[in-house]
């Protein structure tokens, strides 16, 4: 079955501007998009029914710690983030939530983390005494389009969030079924709308993690909702200078605490999934779909709530396609299957997980021991200069200077793990995956 589409393609932001009062709409991806950390591919030809949008209130903050290597870094933090601050200019030590700060002070305002708080991230705790001062610059609403994918005509009941900052993603409005009268398309649209009444969309949905921005992406004229974060990360990786992770004589191991979302983004080919080689599968374990359907315990993603525990599917192929303007047999159009368990979803494992979750989860970086595989012999005799050439092949040349200064050769690289790469050298998650995959078996992406 082929669909007819409008000739105009829109970004998510452009689409919302034009169609916010005309939802729902069915769209087809005309320019795909792929994320390097936790965004799966939006394929050209993918069809999505956009139902509504969500808005999450966040603050934009800048690190002002004078002696930190992270000085000047910009973040956005959910307004309801569960941490307290005090005003930098006040000695009284009154405690504020972010929401309290914004409501009772003119921005920008400088704040400090309340001392002697213990921040819990997964199984670890970290005192706030050495955390940096922040300047709260502004507030904004991060916006997502909320909808459901149509796969082979089937309406996926799980919510698919599309953030407005995916500026390179383009889609066109679907206007009908090729070669069929408009009445058939309109009846099908009505059936989808009927099914959507059984679904619940969280219009306040947003990412609960902290966004870290590229240093040159935030400026006075920025439209914050349309600025793509470098990554979404947890509290520890966002604010802690790696040199200060050793606190009060205790080392706080944070190598397995990451639970991110979209990071660096790149335009995708028509179908990146179909071209995946077996060697790429280990890297894929560290990625998750943009849908990032979260575990129900955490509710960090807008998982659709199905009334009466039912999953409703619509199959375009079952539509009557004759030209007679007669009602469609709903029994042919819609199949209902009783769902006694939560709908499985692919998601990033969250830090607060306390019991098994009925979803396919993505493995986090739990590796804390050096790689010791027989297949690592390709590195044992690699010199410092040879390793620098290999870093170029892996598109990791920005780390050559650091490796050279620390006299890292192949034998030393075998002692590395994910945590060391991220904390000591500032690797992003996907960069660490790329290098550790090479360390493990010599894989160089083609």
Alpha-carbon span 169 to 144, nearest angstrom: 13
The residue among 104 and 279 whose pLDDT is bigger is: 104
pLDDT at 232 exceeding the cut of 70: no
Alpha-carbon span 404 to 391, nearest angstrom: 11
Mean pLDDT of 255-275: 35
Q: What confidence score (pLDDT) does residue 18 get?
A: 94
Return the percentage of the chain with pLDDT > 90, whole number.
20
Per-residue pLDDT of 387-434, as tens digits, reads 888 898 888 988 888 888 888 888 888 888 887 888 778 888 888 888
Is 201 inside a domain boundary?
no
Alpha-carbon span 99 to 240, nearest angstrom: 23
Q: What confidence score (pLDDT) does residue 443 get?
A: 82
Domain total of the chain? 2
Alpha-carbon span 266 to 288, nearest angstrom: 15
Reduce the DSSP state of residue 411 to 3 states and report it.
helix
Per-residue pLDDT of 22-77, as tens digits, reads 999 999 999 877 654 344 457 788 899 999 999 999 999 888 876 556 666 788 88
Per-residue pLDDT of 157-193, as tens digits, reads 888 889 888 888 899 999 999 999 999 999 999 988 9
The residue among 371 and 150 whose pLDDT is bigger is: 150
Is 70 inside a domain boundary?
yes
* The last residue of a domain, from among 236, 268, 301: 236
pLDDT at 359 exceeding the cut of 70: no
Q: Are 435 and 400 in contact (CB under 8 A)?
A: no
Is 418 inside a domain boundary?
yes
| Angle, helix 418-425 to helix 429-441, in steps of 10 degrees | 130
Is 411 inside a domain boundary?
yes
Is 10 inside a domain boundary?
no
The residue among 331 and 98 whose pLDDT is bigger is: 98
Q: What confidence score (pLDDT) does residue 197 get?
A: 86
Mean pLDDT of 362-381: 51
CA gyration radius, the chain: 24
pLDDT at 110 exceeding the cut of 80: yes
CA-closest candidate to residue 284, choices 32, 42, 40:
40
* The last residue of a domain, from among 206, 236, 266: 236
pLDDT at 15 exceeding the cut of 50: yes
Characterize 59-95 residue by residue with b for buried, 16 or more Cβ atoms within 10 angstroms of its Cβ, and e for exposed.
Answer: bbbbbbbeebebeebbbbbbbebeebbbbeeeeeeee
Q: Are 245 and 254 in contact (CB under 8 A)?
A: yes
pLDDT at 340 exceeding the cut of 50: no
91 & 232 share domain = yes
Residue-by-residue DSSP string for 10-67: E-HHHHHHHHTTS--EEEEEEE-EEESSS---B-TT-EEEEEEEEEEEEEEEEE--TT
Alpha-carbon span 74 to 219, nearest angstrom: 10
Q: What confidence score (pLDDT) does residue 194 get?
A: 87
Is 384 inside a domain boundary?
yes
Is 290 inside a domain boundary?
no
Domain that holds residue 384: 366-441
If one counts every other C-beta atom within 10 angstroms of the C-beta of residue 129, the result is 13
**Looking at residue 398, which CATH number applies to its domain?**
1.10.150.50
Is 269 inside a domain boundary?
no
pLDDT at 242 exceeding the cut of 60: no
Q: What confidence score (pLDDT) does residue 332 get?
A: 34
């Amino acid at each position: 079955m082929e669909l007819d589409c409008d000739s105009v393609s829109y970004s998510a932001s452009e689409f919302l501007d034009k169609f916010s009062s005309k939802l729902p709409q069915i769209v087809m991806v005309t320019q795909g998009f792929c994320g390097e950390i936790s965004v799966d591919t939006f394929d050209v030809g993918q069809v999505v029914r956009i139902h509504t949008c969500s808005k999450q209130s966040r603050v934009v903050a800048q690190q002002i710690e004078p002696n930190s290597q992270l000085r000047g870094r910009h973040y956005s933090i959910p307004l309801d983030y569960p941490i307290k601050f005090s005003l930098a200019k006040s000695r009284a030590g009154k405690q504020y939530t972010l929401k309290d700060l914004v409501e009772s002070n003119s921005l920008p305002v400088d704040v400090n983390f309340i001392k002697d708080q213990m921040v819990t991230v997964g199984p670890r705790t970290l005192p706030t005494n050495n955390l940096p001062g922040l300047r709260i610059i502004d507030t904004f609403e991060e916006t997502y389009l909320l909808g459901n994918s149509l796969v082979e005509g089937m309406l996926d009941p799980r919510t698919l969030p599309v953030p407005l900052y995916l500026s390179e993603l383009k889609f066109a409005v679907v206007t009908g079924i090729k070669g069929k009268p408009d009445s058939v398309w309109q009846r099908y649209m009505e059936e989808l709308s009927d099914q959507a009444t059984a679904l619940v969309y969280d219009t306040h949905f947003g990412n609960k993690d902290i966004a870290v921005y590229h240093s040159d992406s935030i400026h006075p004229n920025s439209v914050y909702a349309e600025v793509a974060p470098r990554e979404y990360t947890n509290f520890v990786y966002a604010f802690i200078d790696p040199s200060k992770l050793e606190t009060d004589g205790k080392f706080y191991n944070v190598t397995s605490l990451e639970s991110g979302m979209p990071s660096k983004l790149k335009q995708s080919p028509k179908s990146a999934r179909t071209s995946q080689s077996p060697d790429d599968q280990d890297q894929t374990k560290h990625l998750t779909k943009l849908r990032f359907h979260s575990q129900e315990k955490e509710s960090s993603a807008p998982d659709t709530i199905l009334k009466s525990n039912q999953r409703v599917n619509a199959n375009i192929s079952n539509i009557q396609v004759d030209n007679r303007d007669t009602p469609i047999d709903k029994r042919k159009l819609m199949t209902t299957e009783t769902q006694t368990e939560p709908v499985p979803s692919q998601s990033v494992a969250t830090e607060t997980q306390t019991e098994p979750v009925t979803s396919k989860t993505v493995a986090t970086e739990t590796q804390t021991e050096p790689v010791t595989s027989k297949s690592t012999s390709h590195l044992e005799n690699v010199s410092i200069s040879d390793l620098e050439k290999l870093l170029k092949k892996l598109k990791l040349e920005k780390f050559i200077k650091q490796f050279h200064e620390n006299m890292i050769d192949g034998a030393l690289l075998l002692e590395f793990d994910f945590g060391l790469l991220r904390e000591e050298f500032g690797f992003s998650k996907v960069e660490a995956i790329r290098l550790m995959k090479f360390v493990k078996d010599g894989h160089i992406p083609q």
